[in-house]
């Protein structure tokens, strides 16, 4: 990796309405940009007809970038196929739960199709042959926001059957493990395996979803293996993982096993988009950044984020800077805007870039230039920031699948909330409290470096994980886990003993009844809850607690029944949240627990966000980020230097953050 923070932008010379490359690169270098990202979107430009290649634009961009001192990230152009390829193989377009895709959109093909793999490998190799020898190429991006695109093709289902045969050996074993006797779904011959699109069995359907995620892992590994024949040792390999999309980046990605897939990379990458203007909170930057940092337990690249972005996201003055430094505060090695110039046609014409449609040096460009200059000046101090968080939050693809099949709703009804809502319930509460956290995958087994382990809706958990959690508590760890956890095994077969499975002694509580709360509130004589702390979505009626009861339900029928408990087990403690409730109530519960457990929290609270890390020089770097339109004040905890203004700061000195402002303190540890 470079020893400079990456400050980049996607650049699509092919999309320009006129030839202005030299002017664009002059404007970039003037504004402090040092990197462009190219090539991932334009297969039809490089190969306009089957076997006919034209890399004229590619060489012009690479030569000009080198001349202007710009580094280049080259993306493999495999996520949007040319029309001739769809015509050559009509079944290359993905056959999904909703039917066959039509040509036109991106990411609408079957990645398991032999014809796709043949032509994808050919264009990858031809592209890599063209770019080798260019010193300006610093790294490669494999594909783009890769997902399985819900392929249910005959090719994919054949591979799935082979996977099941390898996994289970016999149909009897498959029938037993997945409970296929229900509604006469069991099979006696592997050739009788039904089409996955009709199944009513969560184990069978969930296993296919896990298989679809494995397609992504295999696909990126396959591309990496091709790339290894061409890349130089100092050129990195990344991928721009994205997140569950709710008109912006929201939650843990359900369609890829990102922790496994990231093993094909030398550095993780991600795309983070979020609301701005009055709706800018920084919560998406923080959550998605923690997810990206967790993939390889190291720094990552933000390969796409917004400059102006979607309609309604035009940043207030100061917000672009705030967003950029908030990314660094979470551990990013740099950011890259999507995109440089606003596009003049097609579906993303109003997803605006650094430049508006008139290419002028407008207000957004001018603010971007201040970021570029600060990145240049401070790279040595801000790059390679290492996070040393003492709280960990676990995520689980299998549990996410489980909650999709069995949501917190009546059967057949659309749930009010899903896995990511509950995950963000926990993560956003920690964020507002300035309780920084790492995100762990459910394949982790050693939690000894953390003071607190939080396990939101861990619906599907294997025995080995349950034992690791129990042992962590016994050895002195502190856990917080929630409703609908430890309920089923990894293939979503519900455990048939006392719930929560395997942890009733550790948690000091059990239950066999649960319901949807109506007019239920939480009350406590131990914790200062907000008035009228509403219980929502799901409630478990906890029984015979050996644990300390922290909160009970307030309701004519369910009143007095334990809702939140804490149990001492071995040398540690285990807290169980048996229901979902107001975020303000959750903050009160967590604040009480963290205080008693000796977890240090700053006095400051959202909208003043504080993030810390250790620099490569061994200094403590503390970011103070004001996510509000109001001035915020704080006192320096010790003497040091405020890096943006290059000013000395004394202990207990009052510092003022303007609306949407940033300060960065460098101090001794």
Tens of pLDDT, residues 339-370: 999 999 999 999 999 999 999 999 999 999 99
Closest CA to 221 of 262, 255, 162: 262
Closest CA to 68 of 17, 22, 112, 105: 22
H-helix or E-strand spanning residue 160? helix 154-168
**The predicted structure's pLDDT at residue 2:** 66
Annotate 458-489 with three-state secondary structure: CCECCHHHHHHHHHHHHCCCEEEEECCCCCEC
**C-alpha span between 238 and 220 (Å, rounded):** 10
**The predicted structure's pLDDT at residue 414:** 87
Q: Are strands 662-667 and 640-642 parallel, antiparallel or unpaired?
A: antiparallel
**The predicted structure's pLDDT at residue 492:** 98
Q: What is the pTM of this model?
A: 0.97
The angle at the Cα of 319, spanning 314 to 253, to the nearest 5 degrees, equals 80
**Strand, helix or coil for residue 81:** coil
The angle at the Cα of 171, spanning 167 to 177, to the nearest 5 degrees, equals 65
**The predicted structure's pLDDT at residue 470:** 98
For the CA atoms of 193, 196, 199, 201, what is the dihedral angle to 10 degrees? 80
Which residue spans within 498-630 are E strands per DSSP? Answer: 514-515, 521-523, 533-540, 548-554, 562-569, 572-577, 579-581, 608-614, 620-626
First to last CA, the chain: 26
**C-alpha span between 594 and 527 (Å, rounded):** 12
Q: Are strands 632-635 and 579-581 parallel, antiparallel or unpaired?
A: unpaired
**C-alpha span between 646 and 100 (Å, rounded):** 59
CA 6 to chain centre: 20
**C-alpha span between 254 and 401 (Å, rounded):** 7
Residues paired with 655 in a beta bridge: 634
**The predicted structure's pLDDT at residue 158:** 97
**The predicted structure's pLDDT at residue 1:** 58
Radius of gyration of the chain (CA): 26
The angle at the Cα of 356, spanning 32 to 383, to the nearest 5 degrees, equals 25
Closest CA to 609 of 327, 333, 314: 327
For the CA atoms of 546, 550, 554, 560, what is the dihedral angle to 10 degrees? 30
**The predicted structure's pLDDT at residue 60:** 97
Asked whether 623 and 329 are in contact (CB, 8 A), the reply is yes
Contacts of 574 (CB under 8 A, 6+ apart): 473, 478, 479, 481, 503, 506, 507, 508, 547, 566, 567
**C-alpha span between 504 and 466 (Å, rounded):** 11
Alpha-carbon separation of residue 76 from 38, 126, 359 (angstroms)? 9, 10, 27
* DSSP code, position 50: T
Q: Which residues of the chain have pLDDT under 70?
A: 1-2
Written as six digits, the tokens of 77 are 């152009």
**The predicted structure's pLDDT at residue 30:** 98
**The predicted structure's pLDDT at residue 411:** 86
**Strand, helix or coil for residue 380:** helix
**C-alpha span between 438 and 96 (Å, rounded):** 35
């Amino acid at each position: 990796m470079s020893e400079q923070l990456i400050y980049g932008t996607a650049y699509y010379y092919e999309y320009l309405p006129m030839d202005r490359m030299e002017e664009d690169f002059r404007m970039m270098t003037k504004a402090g940009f040092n990197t462009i990202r190219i090539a991932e979107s334009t297969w039809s430009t490089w190969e306009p007809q089957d076997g006919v290649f034209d890399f004229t634009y590619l060489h012009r961009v690479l030569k000009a970038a080198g001349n202007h001192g710009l580094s280049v990230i080259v993306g493999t152009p495999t996520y949007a196929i040319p029309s001739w390829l769809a015509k050559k193989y009509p079944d290359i377009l993905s056959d999904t739960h909703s039917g066959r895709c039509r040509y036109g959109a991106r990411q609408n093909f079957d990645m398991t199709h032999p014809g796709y793999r043949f032509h994808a490998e050919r264009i990858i190799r031809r592209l890599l042959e063209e770019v080798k020898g260019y010193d300006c190429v610093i790294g490669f991006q494999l594909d783009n926001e890769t997902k399985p695109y819900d392929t249910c093709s005959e090719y994919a289902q054949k591979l799935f059957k082979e996977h099941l045969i390898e996994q289970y050996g016999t149909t009897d074993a498959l029938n037993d493990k997945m409970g296929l006797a229900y509604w006469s779904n069991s099979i006696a011959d592997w050739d009788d395996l039904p089409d996955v699109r009709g199944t009513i069995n969560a184990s069978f359907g969930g296993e296919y979803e896990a298989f679809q995620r494995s397609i992504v892992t295999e696909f990126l590994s396959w591309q990496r293996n091709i790339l290894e024949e061409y890349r130089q040792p100092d050129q990195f390999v990344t991928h721009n993982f994205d997140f569950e999309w709710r008109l912006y980046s929201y939650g843990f990605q359900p369609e890829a096993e990102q922790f496994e897939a990231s093993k094909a990379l030398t550095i993780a990458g991600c795309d983070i988009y979020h609301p701005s203007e009055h709706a800018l909170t920084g919560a998406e930057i923080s959550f998605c950044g923690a997810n990206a940092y967790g993939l390889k337990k190291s720094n990552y690249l933000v390969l796409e984020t917004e400059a102006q972005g979607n309609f309604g996201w035009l940043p207030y003055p100061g917000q672009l800077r705030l967003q950029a430094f908030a990314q660094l505060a979470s551990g990013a090695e740099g950011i890259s805007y999507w995109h440089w110039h606003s596009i003049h046609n097609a579906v993303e014409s109003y997803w605006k870039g650094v430049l508006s449609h008139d290419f002028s040096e407008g207000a957004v460009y001018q603010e971007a230039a201040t970021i570029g200059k600060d990145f240049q000046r401070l790279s040595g101090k801000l790059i390679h920031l290492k996070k040393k968080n003492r709280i960990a939050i676990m995520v689980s693809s299998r549990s996410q699948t489980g909650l999709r099949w069995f949501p917190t709703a009546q059967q057949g009804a659309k749930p009010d909330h899903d896995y990511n809502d509950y995950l963000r319930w926990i993560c956003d509460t920690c964020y507002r409290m300035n309780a920084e956290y790492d995100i762990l995958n459910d394949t982790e087994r050693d939690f000894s470096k953390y003071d607190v382990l939080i396990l939101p809706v861990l619906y599907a958990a294997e025995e080995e994980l349950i034992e690791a959690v129990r042992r962590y508590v016994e050895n002195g760890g502190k856990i917080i886990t929630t409703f609908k956890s430890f309920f089923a095994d990894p293939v979503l077969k519900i455990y048939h003993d006392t719930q929560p499975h395997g942890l009733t002694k550790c948690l000091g509580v059990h239950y066999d009844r649960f319901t949807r709360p109506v007019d239920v509130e939480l009350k406590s004589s131990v914790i200062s809850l907000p008035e009228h702390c509403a219980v929502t979505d799901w409630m478990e009626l906890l029984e015979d607690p050996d644990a300390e009861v922290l909160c009970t339900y307030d309701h004519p029928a369910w009143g007095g029944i334990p809702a939140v408990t804490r149990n001492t087990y071995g040398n540690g403690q285990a807290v169980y949240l048996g229901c979902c409730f107001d975020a303000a109530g959750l903050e009160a519960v967590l604040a009480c627990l963290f205080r008693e457990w000796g977890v240090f929290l700053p006095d400051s609270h959202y909208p003043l966000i504080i993030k810390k890390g250790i620099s490569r020089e061994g200094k403590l770097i503390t970011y103070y980020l004001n996510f509000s339109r109001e001035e915020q004040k704080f006192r320096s905890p010790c003497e040091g230097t405020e890096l943006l203004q290059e000013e000395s700061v004394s202990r207990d000195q009052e510092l003022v953050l303007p609306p949407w402002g940033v300060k960065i303190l460098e101090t001794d540890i």
